[in-house]
Amino acid sequence: MYDMKEQTAVVEARNLNLTFETNDGPVHALKDINLTINKGDFVSFIGPSGCGKTTFLRVMAALEQPTGGSISVNGMTPDEARRNRAYGYVFQAAGLYPWRTIAKNIKLPLEIMGYSKAEQERRVNQVLELVELSGFGGKFPWQLSGGMQQRASIARALAFDADILLMDEPFGALDEIVRDHLNEQLLKLWARTNKTIGFVTHSIPEAVYLSTKIVVMSPRPGRIHDVIDSTLPKERPLDIRDSPEFIEIAHRVREGLRAGHGDD
């Protein structure tokens, strides 16, 4: 059980709605979303395509504007939070600049935010160590494997030390062995940095293994079907996935996904 100390809400969504106007009429991407994410939470969003999980992450990041309801991030509007550089965002593709070395890629946000050269250097070394890429700073992206590139992109999101880390299927394009390894590393990193993480995934085991809170979503309209608070301990070796507790949570997630899918 993870500790029940005083919890402060980092993200609060109330009756959040988002409708996209398309040529085929309005698409209800998010409908009546109510969700609270506390500081230090690891929240996974899981659901089939079109359930709005990525859209919700993008709303938190102020990359999409909601059309109804309210959402606050760190007590501000998402756009204010963005301007305060409250979060780091990791996309499905690593999206490293091919003309920059790994170290220079990680410096990109630091350059934009105006950190001093010495501070940039210090932070690059620190986050490279955090994602176990020390010594790879001088390499170009194409010299690294897909998993290493994705770790570099996580390092880039960590470099400016935002409290919130938003990850949109960061390991979706990687094979399962690499993914297991990165999941394990991500948990360690989360434990060391105590960040609040929002994590979009398609994978039930990934969601259960990583999260303190699992948000099961269903499509058309995109809405929350179930919110599961994980009973797993914070310390999670890979073989916890064979424990009855793990299997029970995974089962509940699967049931939720099936039910959410059944009514369309």
Residues that bind another protein (CB under 8 A): 61-63, 82-83, 85, 87-89, 91, 93, 95, 97-101, 108-109, 111-113, 140, 142, 160
Quote the least distance from Cβ 91 to another protein, whole Å: 5
Residue 101 or residue 212: which is nearer to another protein going by CB? 101
Quote the least distance from Cβ 88 to another protein, whole Å: 7
**Distances 251 to 22, 85, 109, 230 between C-alpha atoms, Å:** 36, 37, 40, 12
Integer Cα distance of 173 and 176 in angstroms: 9
Quote the least distance from Cβ 86 to another protein, whole Å: 10
User: Which tokens is 169 given?
Assistant: 């299927």
Residue 92 or residue 254: which is nearer to another protein going by CB? 92
Rg (CA), the chain: 18
Residue 163 or residue 257: which is nearer to another protein going by CB? 163
Integer Cα distance of 213 and 99 in angstroms: 38
Quote the least distance from Cβ 171 to another protein, whole Å: 16
Sequence-ordered list of residues with C-beta below 8 angstroms from that of 105, at least 6 positions apart, any chain:
96, 97, 141, 152, 153, 156
Please answer whether residues 101 and 139 qualify as being in contact, where contact means their C-beta atoms are separated by less than 8 angstroms: yes
Residue 52 or residue 221: which is nearer to another protein going by CB? 52
Quote the least distance from Cβ 93 to another protein, whole Å: 6
Residue 47 or residue 109: which is nearer to another protein going by CB? 109
